[in-house]
Amino acid sequence: MKKTEIIMGMPITINVPELKTISQLDQVFDYFRHIDDKFSPYKQTSELTLYNNQQNINKLSKEMIEVLELCEQTKKITLGYFDIDNHGHIDTSGLVKGWAIDNAAKILKGMGYSNYFVEAGGDIQANGVNEEQMPWQIGIRNPFDINQIVRVIAVSNKGVATSGNYIRGDHIYDPITRKNIEGIASLTVIGPNIFEADRFATAGFAMGNKGIYFIDALPFFEAYLINDRGIATLTKGFEEYVA
């Protein structure tokens, strides 16, 4: 069974082939609503907004503390290319979406399911197999024509995340130079889970065209980069996933 709801300003789709009743997904969608209420930079009552307004610094939730610590850890690992400081305000969006998808997938696992697909705004956790008992197939969009799929990959027990400015505009910038990203249109990363794939896709895109080499050096990660001329560069193991 599959269901889609609009939460966090994006379509969130959950597909569990062996799902017993569709109402079981309510718990997962409620979790995403909870995360939106807590981490949305657009909601005036969110914990993140209150934190940015210096209103609740001494009473942060365990979830907020965890996310802030993971953001700082990611900043160190990526040598500063992952940075949640956006002109004096913090924005955890580059990490929290993948983290939330990963946690949502764990809810499904806790229900006893091993085959499921959780997607939020194009970032995906795909576990087990699909309805045809095959690895989940995921299309990589053409950043110059989002209605066109340029590659299809087949994954199981992996996370897939794509970073780019072709849908939301220039929302990712180079935190080192504080300038807009040039030379790269999109970066798709396959990782051991969506949390890891998402945070490193964000950092890799911020690195520009050299981001593909950063991903290539990470164990258990593959990537597909499309530059501003439409030319693709693949990590050496990416072809293993091409359907």
pLDDT in tens, 152-199: 999 999 999 999 865 544 455 566 666 667 789 999 999 999 999 999
The reported pLDDT for the residue numbered 165 is 67
Domains within the chain, CATH numbers bracketed: 2-241 (3.10.520.10)
The reported pLDDT for the residue numbered 173 is 57
Distance, C-alpha 117 to centroid of its chain: 14
The reported pLDDT for the residue numbered 175 is 65
Beta pairing partners, 222? 190
Across 81-88, average pLDDT = 88
* Range name among 100-109, 149-158, 178-187, 220-229 with the lowest pLDDT average: 178-187
- pTM, two decimals, is 0.93
* Range name among 85-89, 100-104, 111-115, 121-125 with the lowest pLDDT average: 85-89
Task: Using only the alpha carbons of the chain, give its radius of gyration.
Answer: 18
Mention every residue, 6+ apart, whose C-beta is less than 8 A from residue 155. Answer: 126, 135, 136, 138, 190, 241
Query: Is the predicted pLDDT of residue 112 greater than 90, yes or no?
Result: yes
The reported pLDDT for the residue numbered 86 is 80
Mean pLDDT, the chain, rounded, equals: 93
Across 206-215, average pLDDT = 94
Q: Which of 218, 191, 199 is nearest to 70 (CA)?
A: 199
The reported pLDDT for the residue numbered 169 is 45
